[in-house]
């Protein structure tokens, strides 16, 4: 299946820095001969910059291959929810993907499995693709609870969105690997991805089509070996997505 390389800029960037980064990405992608980009590429940018990136995409043909994504969404449709951004608004701004349930949202904003599942439903209902993040903490891994935790997180998404589960993208992001420079090893990541694939197989015939991304210190040096694993269908990349050269190297690693 076609891999997906999605950058998660987190709370980084400025009008000037975003433009420079995107133009550098565009220049890199222009060097890939037409029609031979064999992976999907997305950037999930801070909400205030969605319109900027949408406009840049419209004016720069080299950026047409980069899809736009958001980093979070409200579970509500509209109304008195000060500060929140609805799925319809993200769709309006040209988003194709929305990250939901990132561990930083779960940890700092107390998002529960049920809320994350509801947000995934709101994204699907607006015609976009949720990138649903799941993953264990270091304490959970060391206690031998990795499988139990990721199965619980996946079950919540399935119970709320089972009828459309084949339309989501999953991202396995071990919390201990995020922003730490300590990536899961390819076999460690593959083992969890295989559990997730089996969990999907139990509920949908289309299980093989669901993209399961790995995220957590994926970088230019380790991307190829992670992406070579049979159940790793792409990457959700934080720090390395802010450097055009590194992000382009990861995209190149996903081409094979």
Contacts with ligand PGA, residue ranges (CB under 6 A)? 8, 173, 178-179, 215-218, 236-240
When the beta carbons of 162 and 179 are compared against ligand PGA, the nearer one is: 179
Closest approach of ligand PGA to the CB of residue 162, in Å: 25
Q: Tell me which of 67, 136, 173, 193 is the catalytic residue.
A: 173
CA-CA distance, 119 to 114, in Å (whole number)?
9
Report d(CA 12, CA 215) in Å as an integer.
Answer: 18
Whichever of 26 and 239 has its CB closer to ligand PGA, that residue is 239
Active site residue 173: yes
Beta bridge mates, 100: 132
Of the two residues 137 and 204, which places its CB atom closer to ligand PGA in the complex?
137
- Give min distance, CB of 150 to ligand PGA, in A: 16
Which of residues 109 and 163 has its CB atom nearest to ligand PGA in the complex?
109
Question: Which residue in the shown chain puts its C-beta closest to ligand PGA?
Answer: 238
Q: Left (φ > 0), alpha (ψ -120 to 50) or beta: where does 111 sit?
A: beta
DSSP string, 184-251: PPHHHHHHHHHHHHHHHHTT-TTGGGS-EEEESS--TTTHHHHHTSTT--EEEESGGGGSHHHHHHHH
DSSP 236-249: EESGGGGSHHHHHH
Contact of 65 with 29, CB cutoff 8 Å: yes
* Calpha distance 228→256 (Å, rounded): 8
**CB of 129: closest distance to ligand PGA in angstroms?**
16
State the Cα–Cα distance between residues 68 and 212, nearest whole angstrom.
Answer: 19
- Tell me if residue 102 is catalytic: yes
Q: Which residue in the list 67, 102, 104, 136 is annotated as catalytic?
A: 102
Least distance from ligand PGA to the Cβ atom of residue 219, Å: 7
Q: How far is the CB of 108 from ligand PGA (least distance, A)?
A: 13
Residue closer to ligand PGA, measured from CB, 26 or 215: 215
Q: Which sequence positions are flagged as catalytic?
A: 102, 173
């Amino acid at each position: 299946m076609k891999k997906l390389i999605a950058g998660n800029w987190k709370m980084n960037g400025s009008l000037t820095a975003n433009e420079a980064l995107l133009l550098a990405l565009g220049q890199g992608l222009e060097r890939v001969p037409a029609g031979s980009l064999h992976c999907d590429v997305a950037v999930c940018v801070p909400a205030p910059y969605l319109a900027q990136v949408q406009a840049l995409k419209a004016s720069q043909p080299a950026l047409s291959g980069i899809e736009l994504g958001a980093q979070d969404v409200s579970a509500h449709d509209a109304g008195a929810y000060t500060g929140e951004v609805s799925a319809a608004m993200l769709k309006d701004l040209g988003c194709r993907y929305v990250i939901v349930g990132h561990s930083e949202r779960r940890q700092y904003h107390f998002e529960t499995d049920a809320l994350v599942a509801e947000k995934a439903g709101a994204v699907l209902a607006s015609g976009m693709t949720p990138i649903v993040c799941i993953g264990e903490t270091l304490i959970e891994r060391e206690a031998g609870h990795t499988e139990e935790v990721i199965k619980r997180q996946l079950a919540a998404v399935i119970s709320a969105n089972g009828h459309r589960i084949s339309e989501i993208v999953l991202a396995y992001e071990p919390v201990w690997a995020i922003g730490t420079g300590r990536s899961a090893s390819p076999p460690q990541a593959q083992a969890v991805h295989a559990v997730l694939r089996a969990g999907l197989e139990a509920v949908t015939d289309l299980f093989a089509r669901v993209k399961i991304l790995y995220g957590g210190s994926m970088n230019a040096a380790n991307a190829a070996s992670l992406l070579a694993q049979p159940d790793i269908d792409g990457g959700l990349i934080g720090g390395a997505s802010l450097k055009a050269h590194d992000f382009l190297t990861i995209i190149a690693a996903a081409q094979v």
